[in-house]
Amino acid sequence: MKICDLCFNDEEMQLTVRNESIGIGICEACGKESSIIDADVFSGFFNELLGCFVPSEEGTDVVHLIQKDWNVFVGVDK
């Protein structure tokens, strides 16, 4: 999946996308035209991050937990 710098609130992730960009294209996540990168570039980061969470009885979506704590993504409610 190709993602762009505009998908992230996090400045380091935006910079990584711009620095590692394979060019300008249409993002498969948000549909905007910008610098794009293969999402696999962040797989190690997200695997480590997900390791910080454990399943709970509440069943809260991990994306929303990450957003609440770190505000990483654009367009995801906290």
The pTM assigned to this predicted structure is 0.78
Looking at residue 78, its pLDDT comes to 63
Query: For residue 55, what pLDDT is reported?
Result: 82
What proportions of the chain, in percent to the nearest 5, are helix, strand and coil? 45, 20, 35
CA dihedral 15, 76, 45, 8 (to 10 degrees): 0
* Alpha carbon separation from 27 to 49, 54, 62 (Å, rounded): 23, 31, 23
8-41 confidence digits (pLDDT tens): 999 999 999 999 999 999 999 999 999 999 999 9
Euclidean distance between the first and final Cα of the chain, in Å? 24
